Structures are given as structure tokens and as C-alpha cells.
Chain A
Amino acid sequence: MDMNEIKEIFFQECEEQLAELESGLLKLNDGDRDPETVNAVFRAVHSIKGGAGAFGLDDLVSFAHVFETTLDCVRSNKLEPNQDVLKVMLKSADVLADLTNAARDGASVDESRTRGLVKELEALARGEMPSASGAPEVAPAKPAAAAPAPVAVAAKPAPTDESGFQPIPFTFDDFGDEPAAPAADPVFEVTFKPRSDLYAKGNEAALLLRDLARLGEMTVNCNMDALPPLEALNPEEAYFHWVATVRTSKGEEGIRSVFEFAEWDCDIDVRGLEENEEAELPMIPVPFDLAILDGDGAMTAEEHDHDHDQMGDHHEAAPADAPVAAAAAEAVSAAQTAAAVSQTARAAAAAPAAAAAAAAAQANNAANQAGQTIRVDLDRVDRLINLVGELVINQAMLSQSVVENDSNGTSSINMGLEELQQLTREIQDSVMAIRAQPVKPVFQRMSRIVREVADMTGKSIRLITEGENTEVDKTVIDKLAEPLTHMIRNAVDHGIETPEKREAKGKNPEGTVRLSAKHRSGRIIIELADDGAGINRERVRQKAIDNDLITADANLSDEEIDNLIFAPGFSTADKISDISGRGVGMDVVKRSIQALGGRISIQSRPGQGSTFVMSLPLTLAVLDGMVVTVAGQTLVVPLTAIVETLQPEASSIHSFGASQRLISIRNSFCPLVDVGRILDFRATQANPVEGVALLVESEGGGQRALMVDAIQGQRQVVIKSLEANYTHVPGIAAATILGDGRVALILDVDAVVAASRGQSLKPEIALAG
């Protein structure tokens, strides 16, 4: 594994830590005061700092350090995490994410914003509450009732703990090392007795002592009484134990946290010493500068050989590597922390660099602890998925040729094939499950968007997310972020009213945006609801008339008017803002969703808000479809779109206008759409009585009966992109390869339904796919 790969793993790990950080801060924002939540937040920042140090990412380290220090104040109950404090913290999390991205891609960061936040964080650490002057970025029109009045923590003297300790202002001039503890810090006596398990599990007493030494000023006494004669000695046993005195501001909690991950394998006793109380034992002072030991990861048998292999490389270069190694140790403890948090071996595997050393040790521990995970290159998974896709096609071809040669269908080959089909299906499902990921990361990104746009527009908005653990194919997740961002911005910028307007209408001045995900009949449904003003239908209608999207006398239902906002170039914003884009509008969103094989619709209630509903396939690789014949062509209709199939009778077909036909189904009429005609497969309309009608439900367009000539069967097909292999075809979503080796087109039901609605919405068909 080369350095770049290790670095890449570090950045992946950072993403997870940032997600952890954000979700923890949001929980705190919701009033969660569980110390474990605070700890998780702290650990996330600490892990990033540690890893960043290993790679010499100084900007990231500096900022993370300041952030971590402030979080430490929260952790030690010196700072009340009220909403004002959390606002600064959430913004800091955003900056931390920016700095991480900058380190990864070399992108630039807003330095003044970073500097501003460093000042705010430092002020918080000193016990000063954020104020308008101290927080230049706070929204100008902050609604009075948006947040509870700041708790008067700042006005009070900082709380003291039992030992009379008062927090003192920190200086951040030197981010490199922990500042030497001032003389006023309390002194603790720590007795540390490792058990042999400690070493067997890859932990190392020297590293724990090193971390202890980093808390402040330390002296140590090693008790060697238990050491047996050489011949009786078991080299893997723990014989030494230590008594150390540590002068530190971190308190007993800080000391115990050093041993947090080894507590089962050692005995720890911590007691406070009186100011003039001297340790009774002869103590050896521990040097302050232990940077040289930082390459000294927790070592295990597994990495032993590996290390020896590499020895030749860094032996000579050791002094030069020292600074890098310094931070590496942090990475080690970061890895330990992360592993403990996530309880998976993943954290260990992801531990950066230096961390190679600690990683193996942690892998051991973490692997023993809980469900195991591995990181796999996405390309490998995709290759597997492609191969399984080919397997499905091949199996279908094989089945078909067996059926053709074995008309009675009783041969053992035929029965074996059915089992093979079952097996193939299971393999496919399992492979697909590998790619399934929770939508959580995307949802978490949205909370940042809401925060930023709300700040820019002076609105107060609460984002509520639901069902964030709903899983969907990774490709879908990756491509979901952009349209969702656009929609969230729209919702905050245009949907939610200003606090004043909301109050005037008797609403809560704080607007709510609700983002939810759930599974429904083999698809994922993502809903984005706001409690804003809703769609102004009069304005939308007028705009559509002005833009020649509809005729002035067009008779459209409310639902159809609402859906006009998805028409290309449609924008009702009176002024173009930086936030929702330059009027590119919802057509782009719709196109992105359609490109994912999804559908989007809107429901709006004036004065009460709008809800966008997106229905997306769980995977872009396979589809359950009904194979049909239309004008001699074989098409596949996605099964999820079909409500029912029926054989029309002459008596149920009614003409309407010049060319429209309706079919009466259980006392209601439904427009009949000749798929062959819409797709220009034939010049004239087919006789409905000779075909089959597929009753389909389209997003926002109600039900339609699609006329096809015949149904061939129902089967799972492997989706092949038409755009990637050929070019976009209106009305067609994708293609597939059938059992006989022929290519069949997969129908884009929504596009066909939209096209059937008539001339006015015809351009929509060009958007499909």
C-alpha cells in the first residue's frame, strides 16, 4: 500500500468522522446531553486531527486543535452547549469539512471564515458566549424567537470543580504540542498495573505512559519487584507496574481516558495529591519531548514482519521523519478511538498511515468486538455486478434454448435450470446488497445546506430527517446529492417565508424542512416537505402562459399546474438569487431524477407548504419488467409502474374528441395510450380490442392505460444504459439484452404518459431519461 492509498483511506475515514461529528452536534442541538454524544463528537475531531498530523496537513491540524479544545470544554462541563454555542460548532464542522476537502483536492478555503471561527471557538473556550459582534457571520435578520435566549453561563464565573480548579484561558500560539501545564494544575498519582492480556492484545504500556505524559508534567516510578529470574521469565507476561505523578489540567477524567481502551487489561488507580504532597517513591522525570517515540505504534505480532521489511527504508531517514511520525502517534490514538466508537475493524483498517502500526493491533481488538466490515474498492464490486448481470443474461439465454428444445418442459435439465435461475437471483440480490448504502451521508450534507442558506436569507429553519438508514444503491446515493441540494435550496430560499411573514400568518417563525426516506414496493421514496407558503398556482399558471408552455385557456388540474414547475426554463423567482441558482429550475432536478430511473412529483397546499416526492429504483443494475410486444418490437415495461393488466372489450372503449380514446374500468374512465403510436412504431392507432391494456400510474399524472399488442412474460432484466452505449431515445429509459440475445428497450412510462397528455407538454418527452 503506498502513501497515497493510505492517505485516501484517511480521507475516507475523515468523511465518516465528519458525519459522526455532524450527527452528534445535531443531537446536541436537539437537546441530547448524553456524555457519550459529547464524547463521540470530541473523538471525531480528535481522530481527524491525529490523522491530519500524520500527513502534515497543518491547516487541518490547527483548526481541529482549536475545535477540539473548545469541545473539551463542553466535555468537561465548563461550557454549556446551548444553541448559540452549537451554531458556532456546526459552522466549525462545516469549515473542518472544507479544510478536509481542501487537503484532499487542493481546493481553496475561505480563510477569513476559518480565522473568524477560530476566534469564536477560542472565545467559547475562554467562557465567552458568542455575540453579534464576535460572530460576524451570524444571520443579519435573526428572528427573536428562533433560539432561546443565551443561557447566562458567560456572565457567571466559570464553574469550579471539586479540587477548586478554575478554567484558565488557553493560548493557541503553538498547536504543535500540548502546552506545558502551568504550576497551578492539580497533581494526580496514577498507579498502572498491566495484565499480560494487555500485551497479548497488541496494546503497549509504553504508549499508554507516553499518552499519559502528554497530559502535562509527569514523573514515573517503575516497580520491577515482580520480575522473575531470566530462566523463569515468560517474555509475554506483564511484570512491571508503574506509579506516576501527573500535573495536568485534564483532571482525573482526562487521565482515565488515556486508559479507556485498555481498561479491561490493566488496573488503574488515580488519586489527587495535595499541593505539597510528595510521591513517596523515587521518581524519574519523563522528558517533555517524546516526539521521537511517535512512530512507536502499538505493535503486534502480525505487523512485526511488515515492520522489519520496511526497516531498511526508514532507518536512515528516521530523524527527518520525526515530525511526520509525531503526528502519527496521534493517528494511532485516533485509530484506537475510532475503533472503539464504530466497533468495527473498519476504523482500524482506515487508520492512516502511521497508523499502519496501530491498525493491525486495533484490527485485532475491533474484530473481536463486533460485526466486521472491510473496505472494498468500488470498481471491484462493480465488476462483480457486471459479471453477475452477464450471468443473468446467459442463464436466460440458456433457459430459452432449453425451452425451445424441450417442449414438454419435464426434462431434468429444465428442472435444474429452474434451480439455477433461483440461485442466480439470490446471487444477484446478494451482490446488489453489497452496493446498498444508507442515505445518511447525503441527508447529513443537506443539513449543512439548510444551515448556510438559512443564514444567508436570514431565515430560521429546522431540518428534520427521517429514515436516514434506508439503504439504496451507492450510485443512486451519489447522484442524489445534487438534485436534493437544489431542492433544499429552493425550499429554504423560496418555500419557507421570512420569520416576519410567518409570524404574521400565525405560524411558528422557525420553518421546518422535513427530509425522509423509506422503502415502498421495491423502490425508495424520498420526500422533501416544507411548511412554507406552498405553490402560488396563479403565478405559476401565468408564468407558464407567458412562457408558451400552456395556452391561456388550458384547463389544468391543481396537480398539473404544480407540475408545471418541472418544465424546462421555468422559474417563478422574481429575482435571481445566488442561492437557488440562475433560474435553471426544477427541470434540471427532474432530469437528474429521471436519469436515475426515478420519478418526481409535487403536492402543494397554499399557505401550508409543498412536498416533493421522489421515487427511485433501489438499484440501477436490474429491473423487474413485463416483456411486451408493440408493433413487432419487444419492449420492457417496469413492473413497478404497472397497476394491473386487462383485456379490453369493445364495449368498454369510448372515443373522445378526434383521436382520444378512453377505456372504462370499474365505472371510471381512463385515457387509452397506444404505445406504438406514441413511439412512432406505427402510423395509425391499433385496435384496442386486439391488444392488452396495462394500467399504469405515473407520478403526478394519474392513471393511464397503455396499449400494447401482447404480453410475452415477466422477468428480471439487466439494465444497460442507452445513453452510454448509443444515445438518448425519447420515451425510452434504457435497454436490456433478452434471453435470445436480442436487445429490448425499456419503456419510460412517465415520458410516454406525459407525451400522451397532448401538445402543450410535449417538450417533456425530450427531458425523459
Chain B
Amino acid sequence: MAAKKNATTMKLAAVLDLNEATVLHRAFLDARGKNITLDASGVERAGVPCIQVLVAAARAWEADTRTFTITAISEAFQKTLSLVGVNIDHLLAKESH
């Protein structure tokens, strides 16, 4: 139970626009302290504001030494990340902690 309570999977919305950045930001603030697994397989469009939130969240999780991983990623999201110069590494909390 405890483990279940402490881990959460977040499925990212298909459209990661400016509105979604606020939603996502709040969701991460609420999920602080939990291990997070992101499912980005359904992302069709992604904007920079959401990517900023995701990078900031990855850094926060890294600082918290919690896991922050991505299980699946859509091609569109992957290409958008390359386009804006964001590595997939930026979205993962490093395990070294």
C-alpha cells in the first residue's frame, strides 16, 4: 500500500499547450515527494511552456532523490524535444543520488 501511495504514473495530455503548462505545474506540485513515471506516448503537440515545467520537475525530483522516469514517448514529442534542444536526459531525475 505504502509503495503504491508513494508512486504515481502520469499520462501526459495529447496537447501540451500553455493551459496544460499550468495544469501540469500544479499536478507536479501536488505530487511532490512521490516517485513519478511519465507516460508521454500520447503526446501529439508540445509547447515550450510545458517542456519548461517538465525540466523543472525533473530537476526537483532529482533534488528530492525521487525517481522521475518516462516509460513511453511519442515520436512527435521526441522530435519536438530535439527541435527545442532538450535532451531526454533533461527529463529524467538522475539515479545517482
Chain A residue numbers with a CB within 8 Å of B56 are 227-230, 233
Chain A residue numbers with a CB within 8 Å of B33 are none
> Interface size of B by Cβ–Cβ distance < 8 Å?
41
Q: Is the CB of A292 within 8 A of B76?
A: yes
Given A229-B60, A240-B48; A301-B18 close (CB under 8 Å): yes
CB of A239 closer than 8 Å to a CB of B: yes
CB of B92 closer than 8 Å to a CB of A: no
Chain A residue numbers with a CB within 8 Å of B22 are 235-236
Determine the main DSSP class of A at the interface with B: mixed
CB of A221 closer than 8 Å to a CB of B: yes
Chain A residue numbers with a CB within 8 Å of B82 are 284-287
Q: Is the CB of B47 within 8 A of A204?
A: yes
Chain A residue numbers with a CB within 8 Å of B40 are none
- Give a binary string over B40-57; 1 marks a CB under 8 Å from any A CB, 0 the rest: 001011111111110111
Q: How far is the CB of A325 from chain B (nearest CB, A)?
A: 10
Chain A residue numbers with a CB within 8 Å of B14 are 308, 311, 315
Q: Is the CB of B55 within 8 A of A311?
A: no
Q: Is the CB of A299 within 8 A of B45?
A: yes
> Interface size of A by Cβ–Cβ distance < 8 Å?
49
Q: Is the CB of A233 within 8 A of B52?
A: yes
Q: How far is the CB of A248 from chain B (nearest CB, A)?
A: 16
Chain A residue numbers with a CB within 8 Å of B17 are 299-301, 304, 307
Q: Is the CB of B45 within 8 A of A296?
A: yes
Q: Which of A200, A244, A290, A304 contacts B15 (CB 8 A)?
A: A304
Q: Is the CB of B49 within 8 A of A236?
A: yes
CA distance A209 to B85 in the complex (A): 10
Given A231-B29, A315-B14; A299-B60 close (CB under 8 Å): no
- Give a binary string over A180-223; 1 marks a CB under 8 Å from any B CB, 0 the rest: 00000000000000100001101011100110010000001110
CA distance A237 to B49 in the complex (A): 7
- Give a binary string over A717-754; 1 marks a CB under 8 Å from any B CB, 0 the rest: 00000000000000000000000000000000000000
CB of B90 closer than 8 Å to a CB of A: yes
CB of A242 closer than 8 Å to a CB of B: yes
CB of A224 closer than 8 Å to a CB of B: yes
CB of A238 closer than 8 Å to a CB of B: yes
Q: Is the CB of B48 within 8 A of A206?
A: yes
Chain A residue numbers with a CB within 8 Å of B53 are 230, 233, 235
CB of A691 closer than 8 Å to a CB of B: no
Chain A residue numbers with a CB within 8 Å of B20 are 304
CB of A545 closer than 8 Å to a CB of B: no
| Residue on B nearest A312 in the bound complex, by CB | B14
Chain B residue numbers with a CB within 8 Å of A307 are 15, 17
CB of A24 closer than 8 Å to a CB of B: no
Determine the main DSSP class of B at the interface with A: helix
CB of A487 closer than 8 Å to a CB of B: no
Q: Is the CB of B28 within 8 A of A293?
A: no
- Give a binary string over B57-97; 1 marks a CB under 8 Å from any A CB, 0 the rest: 10110000000000000011001101111110010000000
CA distance A228 to B80 in the complex (A): 22
Q: Is the CB of B48 within 8 A of A299?
A: no
Chain B residue numbers with a CB within 8 Å of A231 are 29, 60
Q: How far is the CB of B62 from chain A (nearest CB, A)?
A: 11
CB of B24 closer than 8 Å to a CB of A: yes
Q: How far is the CB of B36 from chain A (nearest CB, A)?
A: 12
CA distance A200 to B49 in the complex (A): 10
Chain A residue numbers with a CB within 8 Å of B44 are 295-296, 311, 314-315, 318
Given A206-B48, A235-B53, A284-B85; A230-B18 close (CB under 8 Å): no
CA distance A235 to B23 in the complex (A): 9
Q: Is the CB of B87 within 8 A of A284?
A: yes
Given A229-B60, A301-B19, A308-B15; A238-B48 close (CB under 8 Å): yes
CA distance A295 to B13 in the complex (A): 15
Given A204-B48, A239-B52; A220-B59 close (CB under 8 Å): no
Chain A residue numbers with a CB within 8 Å of B50 are 235
CA distance A230 to B45 in the complex (A): 22
17 extra interface residue pairs, beta carbon distance < 8 Å, beyond A286-B82, A315-B14 = A194-B48, A199-B49, A205-B47, A205-B84, A229-B60, A230-B25, A233-B25, A236-B49, A286-B83, A287-B82, A287-B83, A297-B45, A301-B18, A301-B19, A304-B17, A304-B20, A318-B76
A-to-B contact residues, CB < 8 Å: 194, 199-200, 202, 204-206, 209-210, 213, 220-222, 224, 227-231, 233, 235-240, 242, 244, 283-287, 290, 292-293, 295-297, 299-301, 304, 307-308, 311, 314-315, 318
A/B interface sample: 10 pairs, CB < 8 A: A209-B83, A220-B85, A222-B84, A227-B56, A231-B60, A290-B79, A293-B45, A296-B46, A300-B18, A301-B19
